[in-house]
Structure 1
Amino acid sequence: MDHKDRILIVDDDPDIRQLLVDYLARNGFDAVPAASGRELWQVLNKHAVDLVVLDLMLPDADGLTLCRDLRAKSNLPVLMLTARGEETDRILGIEMGADDYLVKPFSPRELLARIKGILRRTRALPPNLKPDTQRCLVFAGWKLDTATRALTGPDGVVTPLSGAEYRLLRILLDHPNRVLNRDQLVELIHGREAEPYDRAIDVQVSRLRQRLQDDGREARLIKTVRGEGYVLAAAVEGLPSCT
């Protein structure tokens, strides 16, 4: 029997939950509903889940806090839903570790496309990197294990990465010393066009700089090129193993 990806739909609106569960089921997914933060944890304790669709506003919990708690415990992909569509909400969602966001109202078809895109990007390795020959990427004293997604610092401490942070780092490592603009990064990370004044990439770069201890006033590793974008200013070496 073919494996069906299990999608957890967390929304307090019963009509939206049922609509999305039915639509995803018709399109080959095993969709599980939850109406609150409490039910979210109950489902996760009982079932393996491949992706969480998480509403920002829930009766018993703040979606941003739930996203942060999810990110602290796992690398489970999170698609955030927001009713207001304000830039602040989207930025906060990315800061808490969401992989993408979708503004209500939305069509189930668009949600399906976003889910497929997140799952594809979460599981895919860039085509120019062969995991059997370059499992470990070494740069500026850091090591990234592309199989386990463990980022190890010069001091030997392992730093956790969200799914979006990992993909951003992989993209930069695959294009060292090359300036990538914001539109290119949005497309490569999220598989969609950047929206006007979308600051999600800036937030993700800031978070990744913090992970790399490169968040001072003058970043040395991920540099900002004014008017153009960002560049990873380091040599990258691929090794068969990080050990």
Structure 2
Amino acid sequence: MDIRNLLTRFLSQQGYEVASAMTAAEVLVILARRTPDIVLLDLMLPQESGHAICRLIRKRSAIPIIMVTALADVRERIAGLDLGADDYISKPFDLGELAARIRAVLRRPSSPPTYPTSGLQPGCRFGNWIFMPEKRALYSTEGVRMTLTGAETDLLLLLWNHAGELLSRQRIIELLYNAPGAVEERTIDLLVSRLRRKLAHGGRQLEMLRTVRGDGYVFDPGPAVPHEGTAD
């Protein structure tokens, strides 16, 4: 039994409704018909690479993606995370671990979570950005919406509500996934890196999301001022 059939059978037994695909064209057909809750994406596919399909999905959707890979080269896995995957699992893997990773990703809140706030208000301008937490949306000051994945949006919400605080990688994992150790710390590093690069398009560079070596990250948006009239 190949891995696609194995996973389809296993996940069906776990109570999931499963649609499988082997090519980018089949993926597009599925996405046109429904919006999956999560995508398991093998990097080694017969026609297109998993990286190419991940890029294709990310152009159209923020659906959570877990990469499934047999590649030993960590750079290949990092490339997948860098393209917008939310997590990865390496073959051979335990089906119980896969199920746990799926549950962890699906536990991410679909609406803005409630954290003790730092005093920043919704709809505030910081740097050259306007963030609307209630809409899960980030706009440039020209009104152009920045495309963020679900994981990137969740991270920005978390950082927004903990602005100025030092957050360790493990603390970020606990807050994002409601479970310690749900993903590897390297996954958080790559997620932060992706968000940092997108925020850098607004003019300010690395100082907005600082790395404190050995300890974690601090989000420092600078002075935030209320903003009205942000486009939908």
**Same fold (TM > 0.5):** yes
Distance 1:15 1:238 in 2: 55
Corresponding residue number in structure 1 for 2:15? 28
Is the counterpart of residue 78 in structure 1 residue 65 in structure 2? Answer: yes
Deviates more, 1:107-116 or 1:171-180: 107-116
Match of 2:162 in 1: 175
Tell me the distance in 2 between the aligned counterparts of 1:138 and 1:215.
Answer: 11
Q: Is residue 126 from structure 1 mapped to residue 120 from structure 2 by the alignment?
A: no
Contact kept, 8 Å, 1:143 with 1:242, in 2: the verdict is no
Shift of 1:163: 1.6
Aligned to 2:30: 43
Give the match's secondary structure for 1:208.
helix
The 1:227–1:215 alpha-carbon spacing in structure 2 relative to 1, beyond 3 Å, is: farther
CA distance change for structure 1 residues 202 and 39 in 2, over 3 Å: closer, same or farther?
Answer: same
Aligned with residue 145 of structure 1, among 112, 115, 132? 132
List per-residue Cα deviations over 1:166-222 (Å, max 9, x = no partner).
122112111110111223234434545264xx5333332222122112699962211
| 1:126–1:57 Cα change, 3 Å | same
Q: Residue 17 of structure 2 aligns to which amino acid in structure 1?
A: D
How many residue pairs get matched? 225
Partner of 1:107: 94
Moved more, 32-41 or 164-173: 32-41
Shift in Å at residue 47 of structure 1? 2.8
> Which is further off, 60-69 or 108-117?
108-117
Give the structure-2-normalised TM-score: 0.82
Conserved in 2, the CA contact under 8 Å of 1:145 and 1:242?
no
CA distance in 1, matches of 2:122, 2:18: 33
On the 8 A contact 1:82/1:103 being kept in 2, the answer is: yes
1:144–1:152 CA contact under 8 A, matched in 2: yes
Give the letter aligned to residue 157 of structure 2.
R
Paired position in structure 1 for 2:80: 93
Counterpart residue identity of residue 49, structure 1: P
Q: When the two structures are superposed, what TM-score results if normalisation uses the length of structure 1?
A: 0.79
CA 1:136–1:216: 2 relative to 1, 3 Å:
closer
Deviations 1:112-152 (A, max 9, x none): 2222221220525323279xxx7645534522223432201
Deviation of residue 52 (structure 1)?
0.9
Q: Secondary structure at the match of 2:18?
A: strand
Contact residue 135 and residue 145 of structure 1 kept, 8 A: yes
The one-letter code sitting in structure 1 at the alignment partner of 2:16 is F
Say if 2:2 is the partner of 1:15.
yes
Change (3 A) 1:218 1:160: closer
**2 CA distance for matches of 1:215 and 1:85?**
36
Pair 1:242–1:225, CA change in 2 (3 A): farther
Instruction: Give the letter for the 2:68 counterpart.
Output: L
Alpha carbons 2:65, 2:87 under 8 Å: kept: yes
